[in-house]
Amino acid sequence: MDKRVEKKKLDIAKRYAAMTNDLHWETSYQPMEKVYPFARYEGIRVHDWDKWSDPFHMTTDVWWHQQGEKERRLYAVMDAFAQNNGQIGVSDARYINAIKLIVQTFSPLKYTLHRAFANAARNLPGDALRIATQFQAAEELRHSQHEQHAASIYNKYFNGLHETPRWYEQAWYLAPAKSFAEDAASAGPFELLVAISFSFDSLLSDALFVPYMSSAAHNGDLSLVPASFSAHSDTVRHKALGIEAVKFLLQQDPLNVATVQRWVDKWFWRSFRLMPLVAVLQDYMVPKRVYSFAESWNEFVEAPVNALFAELASYGLKKPAGWEQACDAKNHLSHQTWNAFYGYGDALAFHTWVPGAEELEWLDRKYPEIFDHWYRPRLTHYAQLEAAGQRFHNHALPMQCQVCQQPMIFTEMGSPRWIAYRETQHDGQHFHFCSDSCETIFSNEPDKYVQSRLPSHEILHAHRGDKLEDALRSSIAAMGVVIGQDNGSFDGSVDQKNFEEWGGGQDMKEAQL
């Protein structure tokens, strides 16, 4: 039953109280812990739920109204883009590969988070948090849908977008995203809040949204720009919510501090291990570049996180344990990741290429300390092999980190010479990690992570002695990726050929002249 509202106009705080407070009641014939079975097992102590209210005082009718308006604007732009054959106006068909990667990773990831937040909304014992997480559940679902709608126009014209949910479930290079989302969704409701609303949304989401929106706009993708804008306006709220929720938990009981710190350490790092996908988008995949990944990290992560933790220090919270490592790795992520993607280029569902001469110069300008020495020689080598008609391929199954499930491509802090290895024993078995933080995550909850389904191992479970050389490529083909059409070199691809035939990218070329 809707609650009757006494007067037509209440002020925002009263309205919020009127619309939400009755959602919470103390049970009479069942104990509270049976109604909220997940409220206590994580060890978070909350003494007074009334001390927290949603900083936005958002109620369902307001939310409905705002999202409806945004939806109308968003679909107006997307429809106009489709009607005007906007796909022909993007800078270059290479750009579509950035969309493929987003729709293969982040859209299904957000779908899983939608389910995770719906679960939290049912199980958090405080009414204001329940409402806020319910909104976030709906918003994660919207963002996932919007991105898929925005990409659907490209799916009519380009390869690599036709079975993205299936690839997310199975493909080796999407496992880090899937495992991230499922780790969060299988955590308790408080951990989920700290994981996503705080660690992912507050600390890192701007490094995803802001540069990507600029890049999309700069490359003529007016389909994904409004979808990202719409999502970003929600994420700004999720960020504020995450920060307020963490402060609330820290204030409620001094014993909460250690638990929240452990979650922040864990989830900052798990979120950071999604950044390789963002880094390659910015530094390698968008034809017209805006920010380098390192620049956007400095501006949208390093500076704000330093400021935020200066404030949170008074609550007893320290910067996440992997912070120094992440700030060191910002310069290497995109190069190491693109190197892996290129080498396994026939085991992906998008195209790869060697950056052209101007792009190499851009990379050198953006990464002056490291690019020339460490990364240019690999790319030059690949280009020479391509010119000789012998594209480089890496065929052996990559070793993956037991926790983040990234292939073990990351190097030690301060030394791009050595791949970082960490190892521990549990129940008589070796387990391997890409970093101290991933090892710590495992050691805190080994029984969770011994269950990891590492894609290379999954392939080998089924393997009985035939040739292993093509195992990774075959696994991709088995999930509906058409080898050589959905992946492989961009040069000579169907995408490239079609785009040229349609006269694609002309506006951008003329604008450059």
Give the integer Cα–Cα distance in Å for 83 and 473: 37
Upper half-sphere CA count for residue 27 (Cβ side, 13 Å): 9
Buried b (16+ CB within 10 A) or exposed e, 208-228: bbbbbbbbbbbbbbbbbbbbb
Binders of other proteins among 424-443, rule CB under 8 A?
426-427, 429-432
Which of 14, 42, 56, 163 touches other proteins (CB under 8 A)?
42
By C-beta, is 131 or 409 nearer to other proteins? 409
Largest CA distance in the chain: 79
- Strands 488-489 and 351-352, how do they pair? parallel
Contact (CB, 8 A) for 429 and 457: no
Which of 350, 375, 490, 499 touches other proteins (CB under 8 A)?
375
Give the integer Cα–Cα distance in Å for 35 and 50: 19
| Alpha carbon distances (Å) from 489 to 49, 288, 479 | 56, 19, 20
Q: What is the DSSP letter of 186?
A: T
**Min. distance of Cβ 364 from other proteins in angstroms?**
14
Binders of other proteins among 177-206, rule CB under 8 A?
187-188, 191
DSSP state letters, 262-277: HHHHHHHHHHHTTHHH
Token pair in block for residue 45:
């102590």
**Min. distance of Cβ 147 from other proteins in angstroms?**
28
374 binds other proteins (CB under 8 A): yes
Contact (CB, 8 A) for 220 and 93: no
Binding part of the chain for other proteins, among 213-221, 315-323, 334-342, 477-485 by CB under 8 A, reads 334-342
Question: How many residues bind to other proteins according to rule CB under 8 A?
Answer: 62
394 binds other proteins (CB under 8 A): yes
| Alpha carbon distances (Å) from 11 to 14, 130, 446 | 6, 22, 50
Tell me how long the chain is: 513
Which of 13, 27, 35, 41 touches other proteins (CB under 8 A)?
41
By C-beta, is 44 or 131 nearer to other proteins? 44
36 binds other proteins (CB under 8 A): no
CB atoms under 10 Å from CB of 279, counted, come to 28
The rounded Cα 172 to chain-centroid distance in angstroms is 16
By C-beta, is 446 or 484 nearer to other proteins? 446
By C-beta, is 13 or 396 nearer to other proteins? 396
Q: What is the DSSP letter of 7?
A: S
**Min. distance of Cβ 449 from other proteins in angstroms?**
9
Phi, psi of 80 (to 5 degrees): -60, -40
409 binds other proteins (CB under 8 A): yes
By C-beta, is 24 or 381 nearer to other proteins? 381
Which of 10, 321, 468, 494 touches other proteins (CB under 8 A)?
468
By C-beta, is 408 or 413 nearer to other proteins? 408
453 binds other proteins (CB under 8 A): yes
By C-beta, is 38 or 157 nearer to other proteins? 38
Contact footprint for other proteins (CB under 8 A): 37-38, 41-43, 187-188, 191, 336, 339-340, 343-344, 373-378, 380-382, 392, 394, 396-400, 407-409, 416-419, 421, 423, 426-427, 429-432, 445-448, 450-454, 456-457, 460-461, 463-465, 468-469
